[in-house]
């Protein structure tokens, strides 16, 4: 029989030419191909951002390097901006028209007033002469630590909290004059008790100091007790004010709503940094 030469490139070919790709072979498995297992590009250089070094966002998608803080969720915005604003508007409306909620507030105050020395001490913790110096010490401490650590713009968090403290009288005093609510009977004649300035001072002073100090606190054993002290102080001051008859309960709640929005704004600013 006559010998028939095999076609070039068939199985078993022992020719010396370069190997050819089989028709069924996927290009994705070749080194350097797009989507291949190899981390190298077709020109032999490594990619600028290795796949394993990329950060992912909370949904698992590819993120940026370094990661950028995401936007606050709708729940956070509602709890610390929307809900306090709605409550503040509702309470203010009821106080202005002396609606059912304001009348219940007055009866509740009469039942809660019980003047004694310890309640007066708790109310004094919201004085400017007490709360502001405490905040100042914390802000100076954080600024010094940040400067020693070589932080860029080490003074910004402390200054931001200080500016927030200055906003308290700028917001509370006009509201007092605009609403012009009379105080509890024990305070005698006079108006301008809504909202509570002592409560707002305590919330922003102690809460703002905690937010600025928080990144420098290491571990739950340190953060937990300090956060608890802040919460206790912000509950103790209104309790003392109400028990002493210095403010109606709704005066305190309105200040809480206002300060929740202020502190949330400070938290957003610090979080972006």
Question: How many other C-beta atoms can be found within 10 angstroms of the C-beta atom of residue 85?
Answer: 15
Are 91 and 257 spatial neighbours (Cβ–Cβ below 8 Å)?
yes
Q: Residue 23 pLDDT > 60, yes or no?
A: no
Please tell me the least confidently modeled range out of 11-20, 148-157, 262-271. Answer: 11-20
Percent of the chain with pLDDT over 70: 74
Question: How many other C-beta atoms can be found within 10 angstroms of the C-beta atom of residue 182?
Answer: 15
pLDDT digits (tens, 9 = 90+) for 68-91: 455 678 888 898 999 999 999 999
Give pLDDT, residue 67: 42
Q: Residue 27 pLDDT > 90, yes or no?
A: no
Distance between CA atoms of 207 and 228, rounded to whole angstroms?
11
Give 48's pLDDT tier (boundaries 50, 70, 90).
Answer: low
pLDDT digits (tens, 9 = 90+) for 120-153: 999 999 999 999 999 999 999 999 999 999 888 9
Give 66's pLDDT tier (boundaries 50, 70, 90).
Answer: very low
Q: Residue 160 pLDDT > 60, yes or no?
A: yes
Give 57's pLDDT tier (boundaries 50, 70, 90).
Answer: very low
Give pLDDT, residue 219: 86
Question: Prior bond to 273 cis, omega within 30?
Answer: no
Distance between CA atoms of 29 and 21, rounded to whole angstroms?
11
How many H helices and E strands in the chain? 9, 0
End-to-end CA, the chain: 86
Mean pLDDT across the stretch 19-47? 48
Structure tokens at 120: 């007066």
Give pLDDT, residue 74: 86
What Å distances lie between residue 28 and 33, 104, 195, CA to CA? 6, 74, 68
C-alpha closest to that of 248 among 82, 86, 81, 91? 91
Give pLDDT, residue 239: 96
The residue whose two tokens read 């990661």 is: 67
Are 13 and 6 spatial neighbours (Cβ–Cβ below 8 Å)?
yes
Please give the residue that has the higher pLDDT: either 102 or 66: 102
C-alpha closest to that of 202 among 175, 172, 159, 179? 172
Mean pLDDT across the stretch 89-102? 96
Boundaries of every domain in the chain: 74-272
pLDDT digits (tens, 9 = 90+) for 208-258: 999 999 999 988 899 999 999 999 999 999 999 999 999 999 999 999 999
pLDDT digits (tens, 9 = 90+) for 1-10: 444 454 444 4
Give the chain's mean pLDDT: 82
C-alpha closest to that of 182 among 126, 244, 251, 269? 251
Give pLDDT, residue 189: 85
* 57: DSSP letter: -
């Amino acid at each position: 029989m006559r010998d028939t030469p095999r076609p070039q490139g068939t199985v078993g070919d022992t020719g010396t030419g370069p190997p050819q790709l089989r028709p069924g072979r996927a290009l994705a498995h070749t080194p350097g191909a797009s989507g291949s297992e190899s981390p190298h590009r077709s020109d032999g250089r490594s990619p600028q951002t290795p796949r394993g070094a990329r950060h992912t966002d909370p949904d698992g998608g590819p993120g940026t390097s370094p990661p950028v803080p995401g936007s606050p969720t709708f729940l956070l915005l509602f709890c610390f901006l929307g809900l306090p604003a709605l409550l503040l508007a509702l309470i203010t409306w009821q106080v202005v028209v002396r609606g059912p909620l304001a009348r219940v507030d007055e009866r509740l105050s009469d039942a809660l007033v019980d003047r004694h020395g310890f309640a007066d001490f708790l109310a004094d913790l919201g004085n400017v002469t007490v709360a502001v110096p405490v905040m100042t010490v914390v802000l100076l401490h954080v600024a010094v630590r940040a400067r020693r650590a070589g932080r860029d713009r080490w003074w910004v968090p402390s200054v931001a909290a200080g500016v927030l403290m200055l906003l308290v009288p700028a917001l509370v005093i006009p509201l007092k004059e605009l609403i012009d609510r009379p105080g509890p009977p024990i305070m005698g004649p006079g108006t301008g008790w809504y909202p509570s300035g002592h409560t707002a001072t305590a919330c922003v002073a102690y809460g703002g100091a905690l937010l600025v100090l928080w990144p420098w606190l290491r571990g739950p054993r340190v953060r937990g007790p300090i956060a608890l002290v802040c919460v206790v102080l912000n509950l103790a001051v209104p309790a003392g004010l109400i028990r002493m008859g210095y403010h109606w309960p709704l005066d305190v709640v309105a200040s809480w709503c206002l300060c929740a929005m202020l502190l949330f704004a400070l938290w957003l600013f610090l979080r972006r940094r």
